[in-house]
Amino acid sequence: MIRYNGLMREVNLLVIGFGNVGREFVRLVEKKRDHIKQNYGLKPVWLTVFRRQMRWNIPHDKDILPLLKRDSSSLFYPLQTGNIKDDLKLCLQTASSGVLVDCSVSDPQTGKPGYEIWKSALEAGWHVVTASKGPLVHDFKGLKEASQKKGCQLGISGAAAAALPTVDLARFALAGTEIRRIEGILNGTSNYILIRMSEGQPYVEALEEAQAKKIAEPDPSMDVKGWDTAFKILIIANAVFGAAYNLEDMTVTGIDTLTLKELEEASKKGLRFKLLGRYEKMNEGEVLEVAPKALDPSHPLYPVTGSEKGISFETDTMGTITVIGGRSSPMGAAAALLKDLINICSST
């Protein structure tokens, strides 16, 4: 926001993954190139975008916005070495620092493909900014330690709830407080389906409608069974508390077992069912869980409508702070990646 008066700094960028989010991230950085320079003193320098077993060496000397409208197969060329890890190492060697931006689809059990790639990047002194949850769910602690060893940072907003502020809100706006409880509506698909069900639409129909509107994915099981929410609250809790919780510490219940009758009865009482990710400090220890809950109108997340998201932090000294909103789209995710990139490069 505040115009930058210092020296311009170049930021080398490597991207892995070029689906909707990766493509939108490259486009957003290009569209905001002047804004980023003027306000933060940063000059993004593209090295390479990796996509499956292909690479795109983004040209430095021309406007790439028109290229992004093309079918991406015309941009990408085979890897130099034949495998992505060696190609990436060559890239990391060309510059001593920069930011690896992970927009790939990853496996939360193994962290692949990002996990090993992040490790190489962090060891080479590169920061990592991610929209990909897998590596963080797989081994947050190990990645955090690897980053600290080299004085690098992990930017995880894109994996935590994207455009909805979560971890940076806790880190900066709530600095000095003790956070006792976190509750989040972190999955827009589930929230949308629950709202339609509470209006009387059966689960299957509500899901089909959400799919038709591209709110739900063709395979919605991660969303409706609560796993997407679980990954996000797990990542948020680990980041906020510097902890090492994993999926085994959680109980996860989705919305797919809720009946229309339960929803209708809640509505009659003025309650709204929401799929909540929850962290709470109890006398007997911490609780991490995902479950549908019937909220009364006094609950701070009661107003979250449509495919919106929201998160609420209960603190010792500031009371309860609730954030609602943030665009659920590739653009919102790309904006979250850019935010982390700016905050990391402005602070290091």
Rounded Cα distance between 346 and 172, Å, is 14
Residue of 161, 198, 132 lying closest to 323 (CA atoms): 161
Phi and psi dihedrals of 8, rounded to 5? -80, 135
Contact flag: residue 56 with a copy of itself (CB under 8 A): no
Indicate the SS3 state at residue 103. Answer: coil
The two tokens of residue 86 are 């060696």
**Residues in 196-255 at the binding interface with a copy of itself, rule: CB under 8 A:** 240-242
Contact flag: residue 28 with a copy of itself (CB under 8 A): yes
Rounded Cα distance between 152 and 77, Å, is 30
Write each residue from 279 to 298 as x if it is in contact with a copy of itself (CB under 8 A), else as -, in one continuous string: --------------------
Structure letter (DSSP) for residue 219: S
Indicate the SS3 state at residue 181. Answer: strand
Among 54, 174, 287, 291, binds a copy of itself (CB under 8 A): 174
Options 32-40, 52-60, 211-219, 246-254: segment touching a copy of itself (CB under 8 A): 32-40
First CA to last CA across the chain, in angstroms? 18
Options 52-60, 77-85, 176-184, 219-227: segment touching a copy of itself (CB under 8 A): 176-184
Among 10, 86, 178, 286, binds a copy of itself (CB under 8 A): 178
Contact flag: residue 177 with a copy of itself (CB under 8 A): yes
In the complex, the smallest distance separating the C-beta of residue 238 from a copy of itself, rounded to whole angstroms, is 10
Q: Prior bond to 78 cis, omega within 30?
A: no
Contact flag: residue 40 with a copy of itself (CB under 8 A): yes
Q: Prior bond to 135 cis, omega within 30?
A: no
* Residues making contact with a copy of itself (CB under 8 A): 1-3, 5, 28, 32, 35-36, 40, 148, 163-165, 168-179, 240-242, 300, 302-303, 312, 315, 317-327, 331-332, 334-336, 338-339, 341-343, 346-347
